[in-house]
């Protein structure tokens, strides 16, 4: 690359400096306060909290459980996600558009609602699947007890495979098909092309998706909370939660929880390093300047088999839990058999028209998630550009601060935000939506950066160089060449942030007050109050809204 002119330097510095400033304000500063609080108690330096956390046997058990679940979920998600991405992206399977939309559905489900949906299906005695299984085979042993390690692994895999599915499907769409065609022309068979050309080309995306699934699994709170606690099965997030709960009368619980979250950092830090190692030096520029139809694999006589596989998976893993949520939401009393006389629309009526808090929560969540997704994608794509397209030395530090808030549980992000933005060191944002917005931006920055980076990695530098040679400055190059090329990736990234932010629970739960209630917390409160039917009705409404919103956005941006 030739040396940039002076005025370009100032513009690029300004943009990068602004992005980094946002990162420092949103992430570095609150996180530093958090760590300071783990070693300074009563104005004195102490290692007491660390010793307490690192000498407890239960914490090591929780770490082992976290990694065990994390690895199995990553494997499960990667296999399911990559397979279906290939199936709907690169084969002549019929109804691909509809199948793709349906396969994305689990991503729209809040994981803790998913856990409850699966409880209605696989609860050892009253779950619909287990009941059907037991009466079919005349046994008292359930098919699968959802309140078990395997239950957790299965439910998490079902809700986290879309991370892999999205990134891999995106890569397959953008991949230069001439490479595959060249291999075919050279006489390679379908399987050989897949193995030697397609798979290596999408492997960075598979890896990126797998890491997102891993990070989602180890930082997930709702699923192990609802499915693991009954049997005393703890992971790090639920262990941190226990610290905060059991020391609830003092600040020490928050401090111990924050200290334990360092365990989680170790786990996710390892993942980041691993990614660097695994992908080290292997950069693929597979998005060329020309657009072409992707190469389609003909399934031939295997077509019905793959279609059946797809449909069975969709029915069992995706549609049944959603259907179960809607079914339960129509019941008059939980546990009643599904008969015409037991059905009612009252739960919906109550949530939509009787409760003003629910309406406020809906509005807040909408404002927060749109704002967070937009900020994250603007700042995130600039940071991603720094990470991917420059050789700046501090890149790894920037990357660390981006990944940090995503890899620790939302509860801890919330504590950090409370420490930083409640008037002791600056403005007091407590009780305002700004506080929650700051937490969302920090928490989801990693998703924005990662998705923008994945797209940027595939834009060949030659395109930018061409623009530069023709006299465009850095900003113009970014705006006119890079941004349009990565636009599908940015839109996907925007959705990747918007949807989890819309029904976020873990972070919000510590930050909301009555006027800043979010929809995730509203549903959780319903569940905690035992209004299971109202919670399912509300979930039904949310799913519908998210699904319709998703359709509209993809239509508009196509």
Partner 1 sequence: MKRATVWLALVALLITVTTVGCGPAPTPQVIKETVPVEVTKEVVVETTREVVVTATPVSPTAVPEQTGPATIMLYTSVPEGVVVPLVEKFNAENSSDITVEYYRAGSNSIISKITTELIVGRVQADVIWVADPAYPMSLKKMGLLMPYETPASIPDQFKDPDGYFCAGRVINMGLAYNTNLVSAEEAPKDWEDLLDPKWKGNVGLGSPLFSGTAIDAYQALRDKFGTEGEQSSKYAVYFKKLADNGAVVVSGQEDVIRKIASGDLKVGMAVDFMVRQQIDAGGPIAFVYPESGAVAIASPLAILASTDEPEAAQEFIDFCLSQAGQEFLVQLRVLSVNLDIAPPEGVPTVPEILANAIPIDFENIEKNRDGLLQEFEYGMFMAP
Structure tokens at 28: 């570095």
The residues near 454 (Cβ < 8 Å, ≥ 6 apart) are 167, 170, 171, 204, 205, 208, 489
Q: Check residue 397 for interaction with partner 1 (CB under 8 A).
A: yes
Residue that the structure tokens 């597979």 belong to:
286
- Residue 380 CA to residue 440 CA, distance in Å, equals 13
- C-beta closer to partner 1: residue 41 or 144: 41
Instruction: Enumerate the H helices of 330-355 as residue ranges.
Output: 346-349
Contact string (CB under 8 A) for partner 1, positions 76-115, x = contact:
----------------------------------------
β-strands 40-41, 44-45 pairing:
antiparallel
4 φ, ψ (degrees, to nearest 5): -75, 155
Cα separations (Å) of 6 from 183, 462, 472, 476? 45, 22, 13, 15
- C-beta closer to partner 1: residue 49 or 320: 49
Q: Check residue 36 for interaction with partner 1 (CB under 8 A).
A: yes
Q: Pick from 430, 465, 473, 545: which binds partner 1 (CB under 8 A)?
A: 430
| Distance in Å from the first CA to the final CA of the chain | 33
Site for partner 1 in 310-339 (CB under 8 A): 332-336
Q: Check residue 33 for interaction with partner 1 (CB under 8 A).
A: yes
**Could you count the other beta carbons within 10 Å of the beta carbon of residue 434?**
15
Q: How many residues touch partner 1 (CB under 8 A)?
A: 76
Q: Check residue 139 for interaction with partner 1 (CB under 8 A).
A: no
Q: Check residue 125 for interaction with partner 1 (CB under 8 A).
A: yes
Q: Which stretch binds partner 1 (CB under 8 A): 10-18, 208-216, 276-284, 311-319?
A: 10-18
Quote the least distance from Cβ 424 to partner 1, whole Å. 6
Site for partner 1 in 479-538 (CB under 8 A): 509-510, 513-514, 525, 528-532
Reported as type and span, the H/E element at residue 404 is helix 395-407
The residues near 60 (Cβ < 8 Å, ≥ 6 apart) are none
- C-beta closer to partner 1: residue 80 or 414: 414
Quote the least distance from Cβ 125 to partner 1, whole Å. 5
Q: Check residue 16 for interaction with partner 1 (CB under 8 A).
A: yes
Packed helices 356-389 and 483-502: angle between N→C axes, nearest 10 degrees: 140
Quote the least distance from Cβ 230 to partner 1, whole Å. 5
Site for partner 1 in 355-374 (CB under 8 A): none
- C-beta closer to partner 1: residue 502 or 532: 532
Q: Are 162 and 104 in contact (CB under 8 A)?
A: yes
Q: Pick from 269, 294, 360, 431: which binds partner 1 (CB under 8 A)?
A: 431
- C-beta closer to partner 1: residue 14 or 292: 14
Q: Check residue 43 for interaction with partner 1 (CB under 8 A).
A: yes
- Residue 494 CA to residue 305 CA, distance in Å, equals 35
Q: Pick from 135, 136, 187, 230: which binds partner 1 (CB under 8 A)?
A: 230
Site for partner 1 in 151-210 (CB under 8 A): none
Spatial CA neighbour of 94 closest among 307, 359, 292, 342: 307
Q: Check residue 341 for interaction with partner 1 (CB under 8 A).
A: no
Q: Pick from 101, 134, 190, 229: which binds partner 1 (CB under 8 A)?
A: 229
- Residue 377 CA to residue 445 CA, distance in Å, equals 8
Spatial CA neighbour of 201 closest among 82, 367, 107, 366: 82
Q: Check residue 124 for interaction with partner 1 (CB under 8 A).
A: yes
Quote the least distance from Cβ 37 to partner 1, whole Å. 6
Site for partner 1 in 234-273 (CB under 8 A): 242, 244-251, 253-255
């Amino acid at each position: 690359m030739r040396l940039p002119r002076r005025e370009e330097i100032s513009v690029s510095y300004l943009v990068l400096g602004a992005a980094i400033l946002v990162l420092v304000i949103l992430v570095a500063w609150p996180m530093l306060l958090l760590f300071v609080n783990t070693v300074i108690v009563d104005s004195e330096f102490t290692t007491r909290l660390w010793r307490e956390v690192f000498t407890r046997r239960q914490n090591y058990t929780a770490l082992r459980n976290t990694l065990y679940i994390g690895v199995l979920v990553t494997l499960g998600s990667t296999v399911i996600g990559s397979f279906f991405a290939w199936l709907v992206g690169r084969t002549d399977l019929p109804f691909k558009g509809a199948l793709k939309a349906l396969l994305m559905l689990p991503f729209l489900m809040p994981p803790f609602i998913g856990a409850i949906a699966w409880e209605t299906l696989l609860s050892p005695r009253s779950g619909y699947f287990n009941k059907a299984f037991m009466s079919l085979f005349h046994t008292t042993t359930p098919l699968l007890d959802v309140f078990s390690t395997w239950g957790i692994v299965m439910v998490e895999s079902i809700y986290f495979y879309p991370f892999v599915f999205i990134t891999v499907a995106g890569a397959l769409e953008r991949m230069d098909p001439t490479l595959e065609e060249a291999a075919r022309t050279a006489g390679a068979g379908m399987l050989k092309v897949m193995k030697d050309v397609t798979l290596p080309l999408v492997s960075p995306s598979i890896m990126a998706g797998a890491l997102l699934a891993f990070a989602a699994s180890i930082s997930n709170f709702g699923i192990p909370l609802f499915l693991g606690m009954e049997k005393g099965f703890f992971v790090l997030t639920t262990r941190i939660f226990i610290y905060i709960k059991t020391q609830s009368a003092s600040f020490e619980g928050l401090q111990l929880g924050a200290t334990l979250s360092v365990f989680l950092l170790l786990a996710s830090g390892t993942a980041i390093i691993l990614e660097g190692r695994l992908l080290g030096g292997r950069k693929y520029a597979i998005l060329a300047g020309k657009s072409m139809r992707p190469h389609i694999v003909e399934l031939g006589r295997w077509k019905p088999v793959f279609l059946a596989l797809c449909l069975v998976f969709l029915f069992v893993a995706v549609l049944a839990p959603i259907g179960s949520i809607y079914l339960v939401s129509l019941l008059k009393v939980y546990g009643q058999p599904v008969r015409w006389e037991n059905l009612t629309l009252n739960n919906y009526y109550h949530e939509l028209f009787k409760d003003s808090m629910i309406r406020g929560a809906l509005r807040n969540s909408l404002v927060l998630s749109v704002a967070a997704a937009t900020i994250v994608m603007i700042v995130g794509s600039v940071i991603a550009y720094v990470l991917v397209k420059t050789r700046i030395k501090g890149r790894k530090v920037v990357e660390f601060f981006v990944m940090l808030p995503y890899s620790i549980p939302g509860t801890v992000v919330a504590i950090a935000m409370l420490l930083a933005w409640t008037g002791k060191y600056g403005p007091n944002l407590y009780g305002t939506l700004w506080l929650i917005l700051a937490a969302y931006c920090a928490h989801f920055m990693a998703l924005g950066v990662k998705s923008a980076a994945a797209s940027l990695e595939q834009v060949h530098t030659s395109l930018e160089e061409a623009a530069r040679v023709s006299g465009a400055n850095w900003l113009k190059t970014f705006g006119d060449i890079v941004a349009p090329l990565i636009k599908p990736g940015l839109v996907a990234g925007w959705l990747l942030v918007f949807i989890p932010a819309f029904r976020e629970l873990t972070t919000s739960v510590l930050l909301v007050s009555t006027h800043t209630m979010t929809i995730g917390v509203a549903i959780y409160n319903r569940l905690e109050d035992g209004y299971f039917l109202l919670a399912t009705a509300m979930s039904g409404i949310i799913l519908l809204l998210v699904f319709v919103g998703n359709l509209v956005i993809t239509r508009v941006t196509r």
